[in-house]
């Protein structure tokens, strides 16, 4: 059975790091044995580093 890549991130983390991580995925996804990816962004409308 192949492993499915799942990313669970908060909305603040997606704002701060999201584009960099998506660029990394774009660079390396072809090396994965299973190219499926699920990204779940959890929205609480808060950037915890600020509050």
Query: Alpha carbon of 21 to those of 1, 10, 17, 25, 30: distances in Å?
Result: 26, 13, 6, 6, 15
Residue 1 above 70 pLDDT? no
Average pLDDT over residues 10-28: 87
pLDDT value of residue 14:
86
Residue-wise pLDDT for 26-46, tens only, equals 999 899 888 889 999 999 887
Write down the mean pLDDT value for the chain: 84
Q: What residue has token string 């299973």?
A: 34
């Amino acid at each position: 059975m192949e492993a499915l890549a799942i990313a669970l991130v908060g909305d603040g983390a997606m704002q701060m790091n999201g584009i960099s991580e998506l660029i990394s995925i774009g660079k390396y996804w072809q090396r994965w044995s299973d190219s499926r990816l699920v990204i779940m962004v959890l929205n609480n409308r808060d950037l915890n580093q600020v509050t």
